Amino acid sequence: MPLTSLITRLARPRDWENFRVDVEPGIPDQRINLKPKTANTLNVGAGGVFALGLVVFMHFQGGVGVPVADSLLFTAGLVLFGVGAIVWSLLIALSKREVLFTQDGVQVTGRSLIGMEEWQEPYRAYKGVLHREKSVSQGQNRGSILYQILELVHDDPARNVPLFVESSGTMPRAAWEAYAKWFGLPALSKQGRETVARAHDDLDKSIGELAAEGKIETRLDYSDKSVPKGLHVASERTADGECLRVTISVPRVHLALKMFVCGIPVVIGLFVAIAFTYAVLAGASESAIFIGSTLGWLWTLFFIGICIWWHMRDRRARREILISRTKLVTTDKTETSFDLSEIEAITMNSSQNQAGAGITIASDRTQVTVGAGLSKAARIWLKDFLTSAVATA
């Protein structure tokens, strides 16, 4: 990548979660200002100032026995980091982009320390309105924030335009549909690594209506050979008539992940327990040694028990989907009911993590994600099966 392109990219970031964006659909001549959140810029700049301050401190203390001050490599690294962080924060802080949504397209003007930019694109030059999710870590032991992002997507990523950014676990389906209709563009969504397009005229149509128009394939096969591992499908008769019941038999979180989460405290407990036990066997008689050994083994057994309890509880949880002639009911932690006529989409969600990935069933009223813990092949099969079952019910 040329140096000028790299500098331009750093000075005009497109990490939309760092912006406050909420464009009102359908209002022409609407103008928005794209400027990163001040706190993010200040944090980076403050880190650079701290690094340079540390270099100055070490320089003046070098003569009184601070060994690290003699490390040329360490000092040079601090200087590079400090200068780079300050320059980057200034580039961002002094940059500004303004987007004008006209009747026919977008007009963008911007300024920064590296120059001015000005361009315009008609809406028809964009591929569609993309919905994607982005999980941003908040640091050690602070979890992460899930952002819902809607943007106009261009073949040239530098001309992508943000429309909506929100920290939420719920897809902004109404806004997604409104933007697609406003611009007359397809609604795009990430399903795993693939991008799926849906015409804006079809967004309010149910799966049944799309199937009637021949826009959805309806191959309903749930023979024993076709159903992947972790799923079981049975036909049964209820008060609502003939129904299909899909049972998910795999746990939401894989055993290996549970063992990893519980493994760190278990390893610490084993280390303490073995060390103190060795001291006891070597002839140590202090009461603190016996107490340390006992606590170490109790700590270890406690977390092993937590892992076993977590896994057994997960396996016994009731996880199923019931499809009748008129309704689809999911049971996975909570129960959610849909009328078949209101279901507009059944999609793979965008998570790349098997523990968090699943199938999203959506209507204008609500949405729910099922199938966490299934393999990718099983999730694809379940998506196709549910789509066909809803379309042919």
Query: Which of 316, 332, 352 lies at the terminal end of a domain, its last residue?
Result: 316
Over the stretch 283-295, which tens digit does the pLDDT of each residue have? Answer: 666 666 677 777 7
Q: Are 373 and 253 in contact (CB under 8 A)?
A: yes
Provide the total of helices (H) and of strands (E) in the chain, helices listed first.
8, 17
Kindly state whether residues 217 and 186 are assigned to the same domain: no
Residue 12 lies in a domain: no
User: What is the pLDDT, as a whole number, of residue 130?
Assistant: 92
Q: What is the mean pLDDT of the chain?
A: 77
Alpha carbons 393 and 388: distance in angstroms, whole number: 8
The per-residue pLDDT for 6 is 46
Are 157 and 196 found together in one domain? yes
4 found inside a domain: no
Torsion of the alpha carbons at 91, 92, 98 and 99, rounded to the nearest 10: 120
How many angstroms separate the CA atoms of 189 and 202, rounded? 14
Residue 174: what pLDDT? 85
- 147 with 48, same domain? no
| 337 band by pLDDT with thresholds 50, 70 and 90 | very high
| Dihedral of the alpha carbons of 320, 324, 329, 330, in degrees to the nearest 10 | 20
pLDDT of residue 339: 92
C-alpha dist (Å) from residue 3 to 6, 8, 76: 5, 9, 22
At residue 115, φ and ψ (nearest 5 deg) are 135, -175
Residues 385/246, Cβ–Cβ less than 8 Å: yes
The whole-number pLDDT of residue 124 equals: 92
215-259 pLDDT per residue, tens:
877 776 666 668 888 898 888 887 777 889 999 888 777 667 777
Does 179 lie in the same domain as 105? yes
pLDDT of 165-202, one tens digit each? 888 777 888 888 899 999 999 999 876 677 888 888 88
| Residue 196 placed within a domain | yes
Pair 143, 29 in one domain: yes
**Residue 3: inside a domain, yes or no?**
no
Judge if 214 and 237 occupy the same domain.
yes
Q: What pLDDT digit, counting tens, does each position of 346-389 carry?
A: 888 755 444 457 888 888 888 888 888 888 888 888 988 999 88
Q: Is the residue at 27 inside a domain?
A: yes
* CA distance linking residue 169 with residue 38, whole number of Å: 24
Same domain, 218 and 269: no
Does one domain contain both 158 and 30?
A: yes
Last residue of a domain, one of 75, 94, 113: 94
Q: Considering the domain boundaries, does residue 9 fall inside one?
A: no
Q: What integer is the mean pLDDT of 105-133?
A: 85
230 and 336, same structural domain?
Answer: yes
Q: How many domains does the chain divide into?
A: 4
Residue 352, C-beta contacts closer than 8 angstroms, at least 6 positions apart: 192
CA gyration radius for the chain? 28
Is 48's pLDDT higher than 80? Answer: no
**Contact yes or no for 197/186 (Cβ under 8 A):** yes
pLDDT at 121: 93
Q: Does residue 7 lie in a domain region?
A: no
Q: Evaluate if residue 69 carries a pLDDT over 50.
A: no
DSSP output for 224-286: TTTSPTTEEEEEEEETTEEEEEEEE-S-SS-HHHHHHHHHHHHHHHHHHHHHHHHHHHTT---
Q: What is the CATH number of the domain that holds 322?
A: 2.30.29
Domain housing 24: 17-35+98-202
Amino acid at 246: V
Domain assignment present for 8? no
- The pTM (predicted TM-score) of the whole model is 0.63
> Going by C-beta distance under 8 Å and a sequence separation of 6 or more, which residues neighbour residue 257?
355
116 forms beta bridges with 111
Same domain, yes or no, for 196 and 128?
Answer: yes
Residues 216 and 134 in one domain: no
Q: Is 29 left (phi over 0), alpha (psi -120 to 50) or beta?
A: left
Region 9-13: mean pLDDT is 50
Residues 6+ apart with CB under 8 A from 74: 68
133 lies in the same domain as 243: no
Q: Identify the three-state secondary structure at position 168.
A: coil
Q: How confident is the model at residue 38 (pLDDT cuts 50, 70, 90)?
A: low
Decide which of 94, 125, 141 is a domain's last residue.
94
